[in-house]
Chain A
Amino acid sequence: MSFAPVFSTHMLPTFLNCVKGYRKPTILDIGAVTGQNIQFLLGKGTKVYVDDVLTGWEEWKELGFSGHGTPAQMEEYLEKHLAYPPGFFDGILCWDTLDAIDPLSSRQLIGRLYEILKHRGTILALFGQGARVSRVRAKYCIVDEGHIEYGWTPAGSPSDHQYENQQIHAMFGGFSLIRIYLLRNGIREILFRKESSSAHQPVPNSHPLQRQGTLPRTPSADRRRPWLAMKVP
């Protein structure tokens, strides 16, 4: 018997409408793995890829790194674990993954998601109302097209990030905003769409090491991520 609260969702139906224009949409879910979501998305005629980025990142850090992980480590993690071809997905369910990652790593992750998303592909992201102090993270289970059950799952480390709308807008620099919806429970549901490459604005990179040009990078990463190679004045 489940006692998890169920809330309405306003952006999930919009997200599904955006991707259902394709014959067999390919969707990537980077949130906590739930069979319920997979079954729901399969029922919509999609092909589902599941990749719990946050759990993978926590495990990656435990392998030998300490602290929050450096940008180079995040870059290496994304190279190895989110290694999908460019323009592969029609839609990405981000859920609240970005809430649990530090701002710079979030920008790196968004840059990676931008690459693997198709032109005019859609991202659904949720942002919470405040910092998460306990070692749990939200687990979103789709009940039906209009409702999401909010469960909890253990997390490696607490999150202390709370993003303002303008920060989120800046982080998703290469995307256009379709719609943002503030739910009664304080969760912001935001839908972004990848625009054409000409309209693409590089994700701003404000890390001091990158400003100094001392952040180690691989040449292949530079080719695929022009904003990393960009000199920030």
Chain B
Amino acid sequence: MWSSKLRRESFRNKEEEVMADKEAPPVFPIRPSKGMEHPSTGTSSIARIGRSIFIKGELSGQEDLTIDGIVEGVIELDDHNLTIEQNARINAKIRARNVVIRGEVVGEIDALERVEIQSMGRLQGNILSPRVVIADAAHFKGSVDMPDHEPQGEEEKEAPADSAVAADNHQPPLEASPSEELIRWA
């Protein structure tokens, strides 16, 4: 009898434990996020490819990356930052949040926020980014476009025949100086 009572009680306890387990909120493992400090070193998590490294292929990751070597192929960091250092030679299609260029890059860049070409930087290729910063001595050849930029209330025209007339009527914001004169060729 004691044994059966004990068995019943222990069964009830186990049932309660199972119910408690079912009601407990799920526990997710902690993952490092952007800008999070490394637990052992205390430094932020930025990976680095040194100047003697040569990579050919697809490079992807979930942390910031600094490249000082040679990379050919594809670089995908999605929501993270890419820094291309002075010794770097990149021939790749790049996707990142921010891209800073101090070395040489050939290829297309798709940046969520910003592309910055610093004074020693050279870029030949196309940029798709809402913001572009180019330093004075930087070298850039290519195109820049803003993603998803749609001018409102304007329809496409094949040839704006009246645009010159409209342009002629446009008044510049500054008043013309008396010594400035308008010359027209007949």
Contacts and interface: CB of A to CB of B under 8 A. Distances in A.
A49 B132 CA distance: 13
**Which of B141, B149, B164 has the most A CB atoms < 10 Å from its CB?**
B164
Given A8-B174, A182-B181, A184-B177, A18 B167 contact: yes
A147 interface: yes
A58 interface: no
B134 A146 contact: no
A47 B144 contact: yes
Interface stretch (B17-25, B44-52, B155-163): B155-163
A30 to B, nearest CB: 11
Interface residues of A, number: 48
Contacts of B180: 10, 181-184
Contacts of B177: 8, 184
Interface string B132-149: 111110111111111001
Contact of A52 (B141, B145, B167, B182): B141
A39 B183 contact: no
A146 B172 contact: yes
Contacts of B185: 165, 169, 177, 180
B144 A50 contact: yes
Given A23-B156, A33-B134, A42 B143 contact: no
A153 B135 CA distance: 12
Contacts, number: 124
Contact of A23 (B139, B151, B173): B151
A229 to B, nearest CB: 28
Contacts of B151: 23-24, 45
A182 B181 CA distance: 6
A10 B172 CA distance: 6
B176 A10 contact: yes
A179 interface: yes
B168 A14 contact: yes
B164 A13 contact: no
B141 A51 contact: yes
Given A21-B163, A42-B149, A153-B136, A50 B173 contact: no
Contacts of B174: 8, 146-147
B170 interface: yes
Contacts of B143: 47-50
Contact of B167 (A14, A119, A182): A14
B151 to A, nearest CB: 4
A181 B156 contact: no
B61 to A, nearest CB: 28
A13 B172 contact: yes
Contact of A35 (B130, B133, B142, B145): B133
A178 interface: yes
B97 interface: no
Given A33-B138, A120-B159, A181 B182 contact: yes
8 contacts: A10-B172, A14-B168, A23-B156, A35-B135, A38-B132, A42-B130, A42-B145, A120-B160
Interface of A: 8-10, 13-15, 17-24, 33-35, 38-39, 42, 45, 47-52, 55-56, 118-120, 144-147, 153, 165, 169, 177-184, 193
